[in-house]
Structure formats: structure tokens, C-alpha cells
Amino acid sequence: MKQVDNYRLQVEGAKKYFLRYDQQKLIEKLNLSFDEAFLYTRMLSKDYRIHRENGAVERLDGDWTETNAHGEVMTLLDLVCDSREDRYPARRWQNMSNFSAVFHRSLMEDQADSLALFIQDNQPAFHRACQSLGGEPGPGGDISYSIPFFEELRIAIQFWEGDEEFSPRIRWLWDENALMYLKYETMWFALGMIRSRIRDEMKK
């Protein structure tokens, strides 16, 4: 019996969910560019388009390329479909753990965070990566950047160097009004995508 890929099923479900929406209302809500085949938007300093007939998500990397990456598709379609009409950034930071009563401690500020260890050994590359994503220096940590995410919504990463007693660590902060843009569960999909993008940019 063939094993079911649950991530793939979630991605396909999100595409079907998008197709249930009135696309004209989405265009008006987000002021999207569009043509007969696609709706166009931008997320984490990349251009995206969504196929209007099947919900396929494509990213512009020189050429348009379809992506089925779980976090990327789930996050983009949640932002497009379920962001509130009255959304706006508060421009005040809130620790990610404060958005829900459920604290995913194993996913937050992990003492063995592989990205933090990578940044520790490659700090110039980390600066370049955040700047390539449109990041601006922010307060807190030994290194901190505020990165544009979607429309005026931003996310911040704070990095603390490790020493002989403590491992390097990262803290993630969202704009206080982040839940006007995406669901709490989707924030974790987005965080995985952002971590991957920072790592990829650091390797260039």
C-alpha cells in the first residue's frame, strides 16, 4: 500500500480551498495585479502568482517555476484567502510564544538550534542574507533584523552569540497584529520557510 504524503495532501487541499473563493473579492481586498490566468502578489521579497483555474503557486526565480513546498504554499494561500479586510500593522513587536496559549517550546529558542549554530559560524553571511531579504537592523540581540514579509507585515529575528556556557540562540518576533494576516498555525509554516530562505541566502 502506497504511503500517503500528508504534506502533499495539505497542499492540494489548500489549492482547492483557494478555488472556492470569489477571486474578484480577493483582488479588491489585496489590490492584486491579475490577468486571465493568474493573480499576482509578493511574499518575503519574492514575486508569486496563483493560477486562477487550479490554484497552482508559482515563484519568480528568473523564470516562473511552480512550487509545492508545503510551508510556502500553505502560507501564501492563507495570506491571500484569509487575511482580514481591516488588517494593518501595529508596528509593535510580540514574541511568537505570546500569540497562543500553546507554547511549542521544542520549536522556540532551542538550545540546539541548527540555524543559530550556522549563524554563529557565518555572521557576515547572516548580515548579507537578511539584507538580501530587505531586512533592516533592529533592537535586541547581538544581531537583529526586521524583515518584510507580506504587504506591510514584518517579522523580526534576534540572534544571540553563544559562549562556553550557552549555545547561540534565536528569538522570533511578529508584528502585534500578525493574526490579522495569517492564522497562528500558519505562522509556524511561515517560520519554516523563512528559516530555509535565510539559510539558502547565507550559502550564496
Query: What is the reported pTM?
Result: 0.90
- pLDDT value at residue 13: 94
Look at residue 93 and tell me whether its pLDDT is greater than 70. yes
Look at residue 40 and tell me whether its pLDDT is greater than 90. yes
Measure CA 2 to chain center.
31
Q: What is the chain's mean pLDDT, rounded?
A: 92
Which is more confidently placed, 164 or 109? 164
- pLDDT value at residue 111: 54
pLDDT in tens, 139-183: 899 999 999 999 999 999 999 999 888 899 999 999 999 999 999
Look at residue 3 and tell me whether its pLDDT is greater than 50. no
Look at residue 103 and tell me whether its pLDDT is greater than 80. no
- pLDDT value at residue 107: 47
